[in-house]
Structure 1
Amino acid sequence: MRDPEPSPSHAERRLTTKETAELLGVKPETVYAYVSRGQLGSRRVPGGRGSTFDADEVTALARRNRRDSAGGPATGGELSVRTRVTLIEADRYYFRGVDATALALRHSYEEVAEWLWTGRMSPGVEFTAPAASVAVARRAVDSLPEHTGPTDRLRVATIAASTADPLRFDLSEDAVLGTARTLIPTLVAALPQAGRGHRDEGPLARRLWGRLSGKTPAEASLRVLDTALALLVDHDLAASTLAVRVAASARAHAYAAVSAGLGVLEGPLHGAAGGHAHRLLLDVLDQGDAAPVIAEELRAGRRIPGLGHRLYPGEDPRARVLFGLLEEIPESAPALAAARDIVATTARHAPLHANVDLALAVFTASSGMPSTASETIFAVARTAGWIAHALEEYQERPLRMRPSGHYVGPRPPQPLPE
């Protein structure tokens, strides 16, 4: 006997885009940004052009947003962390109160990192790695299988380098800063060369290029890479940064804290997002049209990478800066056109702006780099931000990152299992 059909009163209640936007207190395009980032599910109206949303899911998201906006001290449920590193508001972001995009356009990655750590600008600073640290990191990385991903290599290099540093357990500010200035260039030096003829000297961006592309870099391309590194130095409490602060709260040394960040960064919803955008871009370039590629992605139930950002209802400022620089490089023109085609095609139903992942994809695809290159760029850049957050956390009460669990299992006492 068939189960009876659910009555209308028990059927799933759906909301229109307008109703969803009003309940969340946002613009309709922001609703689609939530969908793009996987925070909200949608369903097409049969025979129509609009989308509908589950009322219970929208209500839960609205409740979470209200808690997030309330701020205040950590209560064990929603965690709020005081920081002087990065502020994000009104589609802009700031490092220690200074516009981050302006800093990245005017200063090198190393200079921006020093500013983030100390609040002082050090013109012309370059990071150098001790030979012993590089040697042990390279040996560890070279022992990995050939198919090993970049984040795995960087994590192994981080742990290997820590074993060569007898002062790693010194958590004073000077000692941690010393670690940061040597660890970042060690990570770059430990990665395998992408081609011959590249020299391990000069600004970090030039050294990193030799690990990402076999092509000889033009100065304009090096500027894009250096600016990308500076733009990605930090982005408030991303998942990987929170992991770093948890490790630092337990007084793990800086190498271990960075390793914690790298572990989280490897997730497909974080550092690997740029690789997905790179592959999508190559498919569009191969077919010459974004429409069939987008259709196939949606048919397979996949989100379109490189679009929208939960912290930027409007334009991602990092993408805006990189696209502006890429327009000055003739070799980037085909990939730029493909990226614009992706945005225009999806804008018919989901008006989302390009994010930094799509901008990085244009750069990596037009520079002869593999799809994993943006993940490497992201990880190397963000290491500086992780150090800044670790330094802050070392000044806080130890083990404060300890929320209470909300137990939902069977109430005791329960009988012993057989």
Structure 2
Amino acid sequence: MTDQERSGGDSGPPVARRLTTRETAERLGVKPETVYAYVSRGQLSSERAPGGRGSTFDAAEVDALARRTGRREPSPAAGDLVFRTAITLVEGDRYYFRGVDATELARRHSYEEVAEWLWTGELRPGIRFTAPAEALDAARRAVGALPAHSGSTDRLRVAVVAAAAADPLRFDLSPGAVLAGARNLIPTLVGALSAEGPGGGPDDDGDRGGGDGGGGSARRLWSSLTARPADDASLAVLDTALALLIDHDLAASTLAARFAASARAHPYAVVSAGLGVLEGPLHGAASGLAHRMLAEVLERGGAAPVVSDHLRAGRGVPGLGHRLYTGEDPRARTLFDLLARVPWAASALEAARDVVTTTARHVPLHANVDLALAVLSVSARMPAEAGETVFAVARTAGWIAHALEEYAERPLRMRPSGRYEGPRPPQPLPGPAP
């Protein structure tokens, strides 16, 4: 709920905002029990919540107490770290970018348009990001020096470092400078993955403004992922996937990006932090597992033996289930709808449905976005890591959005305390090994 909603919007005089006990504790940086200690000492007043469940507190009074005590951030004792963010809300098996249904945004607007709107609040139809020649050349030279077996995330991490070195203004953390760098960085990353020149080909400046064709980052990225010719329907899937994956609340890589931004690392370093976490098999690399599983289903002619092998080995079935959704991942649902319009994706799409149906006989799991990305990568003859590449390029825009939020906060506000469990001092100095 926004502050305006709490105060009644524009329909009448402001109404004092009320906070729950947990919200009050988080704002003060204390345990919930301490909140009631403040009440008992007369430092804070409370009212019973409607229905008699718990207490509520006046936000202005809480803020005044926070100023007096000098505590404005949650302490480790208050539980999990909580971040104020106006970017993404996940609620009721749907998710929203700044209060707008993210799947509808991705269907109607290009990746660049959604990213720009998320950063600035301004929708700029037809916007395309451009890579500076110097940064792109530096990134390609750096990527070209890597071993042949290097993965796409290896290449992206190196490209970010090279692009940062080519930008003497990278330490300027003003919003305008951060945005200018972000608009340059994303096409530099995409361009560094391919040997093509800037722009990715003659069709790069297509006339598409929404999610029903191909242009910009999607077209350039497509040519680096597969030799299969692109068509409007397939580019629409890739572009929509990029827009859908821009952000998804505080995923592990986004949390790393916010920590880096809190330390006032420049935006390139923020993206590097996100990429480092994204490479984990439980995050961005999960789509590669789904790709291999789906390819095996197609090879063996059905999902049953493949699902059986996974369960027998004690492994989960890739591409199924998501901790934030009780039903189907809305990102997967959106991509499946678009993939149904791509004739050459029919067999992979049917295989994915077979996986869901087969597994549902035993466990009520639904498809997640990794399975949808696997349908795209398998049917388009992309490598298994293609989904991870799409994820990384897309999420770069989200990390920048979170960096912009974090730069507006107090620096170095995130300082959890470790719980030491080693030997108690004093201990003798270590001697040489026998």
**Are 1:399 and 2:412 matched, yes or no?**
yes
Corresponding residue number in structure 1 for 2:282: 269
Q: Distance in 2 between matches of 1:299 and 1:307?
A: 17
User: Do the aligned partners of 1:193 and 1:212 also contact (CA within 8 Å) in 2?
Assistant: no
Residue 208 of structure 2 is matched in structure 1 by: none
Partner of 2:115: 113
Partner of 2:336 in structure 1? 323
The answer to whether residue 153 in structure 2 is matched with residue 151 in structure 1 is yes
The 5 Å alignment of 1:296-335 reads 296-335=309-348
Q: Pairwise mapping of residues 226-265 of structure 1 onto structure 2 (< 5 A)?
A: 226-265=239-278
1:373-384 correspondence to structure 2 within 5 Å: 373-384=386-397
- 1:136 matched residue in structure 2: 138
CA distance in 1, matches of 2:157, 2:420: 33
2:129 to 127, 130, 139: 127
Out of 339, 357, 372, the position equivalent to 1:359 is: 372
Q: CA RMSD in A?
A: 1.5
> How big is each residue's C-alpha offset from its partner over 1:355-386, in whole Å with a ceiling of 9 and x where there is no partner?
00000100111111111110110000000000
> 1:414 Cα deviation (Å)?
3.0
Match of 1:293 among 306, 313, 317: 306
- Tell me the amino acid that sits aligned with residue 140 of structure 1: A
* SS of match in other structure, 2:90: strand
* Counterpart Cα distance in 2 of 1:322 and 1:117: 24
- SS for the counterpart of 1:165 is coil
Q: How does 1:181-200 map to 2 (within 5 A)?
A: 181-193=183-195, 199=201
- SS of 2:391's partner is helix
Paired residue total? 345
Which of 80, 83, 86 in structure 2 is aligned with 1:81? 83
Instruction: Give the SS at the match of 1:411.
Output: coil
TM-score norm. by structure 2 comes to 0.78
Matched, 1:284 2:265: no
Instruction: Give the Å deviation of 1:416.
Output: 3.3
Instruction: Measure, in 2, the Cα distance between the counterparts of 1:309 and 1:190.
Output: 32
> Aligned partners of 1:343, 1:148: CA distance in 2, in Å?
33
Counterpart CA distance in 2 for 1:349 and 1:289 is: 17
- DSSP-derived class of the 1:87 partner: strand
Could you tell me which residue of structure 2 aligns to residue 164 of structure 1? Answer: 166
Partner of 2:13: none
CA distance in 2, matches of 1:93, 1:357: 17
Q: Which amino acid aligns with 2:96?
A: Y
Q: 2:237 aligns with which of 196, 201, 224?
A: 224
* CA displacement 1:44-75 (0-9 Å, x = unmatched): xxxxxxxxxxxxxxxxxxxxxxxxxxxx9532
Tell me the equivalent position of 2:224: 211
Letter matched to residue 191 of structure 1: L
Contact 1:258/1:386, CA 8 A, preserved across alignment: yes
| Deviation for aligned residue 1:329 | 1.1
**Amino acid across the alignment from 2:256:** A
Q: Look up the equivalent residue of 2:85 and give its one-letter code.
A: T
In structure 1, runs of 5+ residues without a counterpart are 1-71
Do 1:205 and 1:222's aligned partners in 2 also have CA atoms closer than 8 Å? yes
TM-score of the aligned structures, taking structure 1 as reference length: 0.80
- Structure 2 CA distance for aligned equivalents of residues 352 and 336 of structure 1: 17
Q: Quick one: distance in 1 between partners of 2:315 and 2:279?
A: 19
Deviation string, structure 1 residues 15-62 (Cα, Å, up to 9, x no partner): xxxxxxxxxxxxxxxxxxxxxxxxxxxxxxxxxxxxxxxxxxxxxxxx
Determine whether 1:386 maps to 2:399. Answer: yes
Counterpart residue type for residue 93 of structure 1? Y
Contact 1:332–1:363 (Cα < 8 Å) also in 2: yes
1:93-149 CA distances to partner (integer Å, 9 max, x unpaired)? 111111100100000000000111011111110000010010000000000011101
> How far, CA to CA, are the matches of 2:406 and 2:382 in structure 1?
36
Q: Which residue of 2 aligns with 1:411?
A: 424
Describe the SS at the equivalent of 1:269.
coil
Larger Rg: 2
Shift of 1:255: 0.3
Contact kept in structure 2, 1:161 and 1:183, CA below 8 Å: yes
Structure 1 residue matching 2:222: 3-state secondary structure = helix
User: SS in structure 2 opposite 1:147?
Assistant: coil
Shift of 1:221: 0.3
- Check the 8 A contact 2:191/2:200 in 1, yes or no: no
Post-superposition offset of 1:198 = 6.1
Gaps of 5+ in 2: 1-71, 206-215
Q: Secondary structure at the match of 1:88?
A: strand
Q: Does structure 2 retain, via aligned residues, the 8 Å contact 1:193–1:210?
A: no
1:140-196 Cα shifts (integer Å, max 9, x gaps): 0000011101111000000001011000000000000001000000000001359xx
Counterpart contact for 2:73–2:413, Cα < 8 Å: no
- State the match for 1:55 in structure 2: none
Task: Please report how far the alpha carbon of residue 346 of structure 1 lies from its aligned counterpart in structure 2 after TM superposition.
Answer: 0.9
Distance 2:430 2:143 in 1: 46
